[in-house]
Chains A and B, each alone.
Chain A
Amino acid sequence: MKLEDLRKMVEKMPAEELAEGAARYTVVVGMGTCGIAAGAREVLAALIDELDERGITDVIVTQTGCRGLCEREPLVYVTSPAKEEVIYADMTPARAREVVASHIGRDEPLEAYVLAAGS
């Protein structure tokens, strides 16, 4: 694939990054050494893939370092605009897709994988 081919693909795509505060949810993947070793890179790819397949554009996906819960990585933090944070533990690509479907798609946190919730 040449750069010109990429340009043609991107040309037709919706325009810009969400402004700060405009996102319906922010999804954060733990990417410290512990998260990476546990498979965080593939979890992140699955999250972005699932969002794209569902045509969801009002969600920001980003990453964070180690927050001290290494043994439960990969961790995924889903934060609402009201700053309510739900932490999902022991994520896999398949579970991450389920989280997108439930929490982002239907606004229903997926209790089965929740480690902690609060604000």
Chain B
Amino acid sequence: MEDISLHILDITQNSIRAGATKVRIEIDEKARENTFVFIIRDDGSGMTAETLSRVHDPFFTTRATRRVGLGIPLLEQTAEQAGGGLTVTSAPGEGTTVEARYRLDSIDRPPLGDVAATIWTLIVTNPRVDFEYRHERDGALFELSTVELKDKLRRRTLATPQIAKALRKYVADNEERVAAAGGA
């Protein structure tokens, strides 16, 4: 994975496959504390303690099509190289939370990348999942909720090519604002 936004897309796919109906993604960048954190929380099926103990193992997967499960191990590796780490908490029926931490100024921290494209892709390709997104960077804030968007836009879906494109501009504009306003 070239950047953190691709990790976020990848890890959130686990939530979708776990049957999540609600997914919350938070990114918090704090220059003063030199921290970069993202958290993905879902209400999917969750994992047993036994499965949870094996998610860091690249040769463990629940999938039948391929025998290697790389998403979590790759993420853990990049976080640890950048002076941070990864925490996965989960219980059956209670969903899963993935928290990745990096030292903000570590040269081994991948760039955030095009997080607007990640958020937009998730919303548009998963019309039945409610997404909440929050990105804070040194006080600049962008928050989005698909439930609120559908209500304000008076639409039952955001997944038509036309609405998708308008939404893409909206997310990209606000991400640019957050990136520019940050003091880091």
Measuring CB to CB, which residues of chain A are less than 8 angstroms from any residue of chain B?
1, 3, 5-7, 9-10, 13-14, 16-17, 29, 31-34, 36-37, 41-42, 44-45, 48-49, 51-52, 56-57, 59-63, 65-68, 70
Contacts A37-B1, A48-B124, A70-B66 hold; do A31 and B13 have CB atoms under 8 A apart? yes
21 A–B contacts, CB within 8 A, in A order: A1-B169, A1-B173, A3-B152, A5-B170, A7-B152, A9-B166, A13-B166, A16-B156, A17-B156, A17-B159, A33-B74, A37-B1, A45-B117, A45-B120, A45-B121, A52-B164, A57-B160, A63-B121, A65-B13, A66-B66, A68-B66
Cβ-defined contact, A13 with B160, below 8 A: yes
Q: Does B54 contact A (CB under 8 A)?
A: no
Residues of B within 8 A of A34 (CB): 66
Alpha-carbon gap, A5 to B169, bound state (A): 11
User: Shortest CB–CB separation between residue B176 and chain A, in angstroms?
Assistant: 10
Cβ-defined contact, A13 with B162, below 8 A: yes
Q: Does B153 contact A (CB under 8 A)?
A: yes
Residues of A within 8 A of B170 (CB): 1, 3, 5-6
A29-B125, A33-B74, A52-B161 given; name 18 further pairs at CB < 8 Å.
A3-B170, A5-B170, A13-B162, A13-B166, A14-B162, A32-B66, A33-B71, A41-B9, A41-B114, A41-B117, A45-B117, A48-B161, A48-B164, A49-B165, A57-B161, A61-B124, A61-B125, A65-B65
Q: Does B167 contact A (CB under 8 A)?
A: yes
Residues of B within 8 A of A5 (CB): 170
Residues of B within 8 A of A45 (CB): 117, 120-121, 168
Residues of B within 8 A of A62 (CB): 125
* CB-contacts of B12-49 with A (<8 A): 13, 17
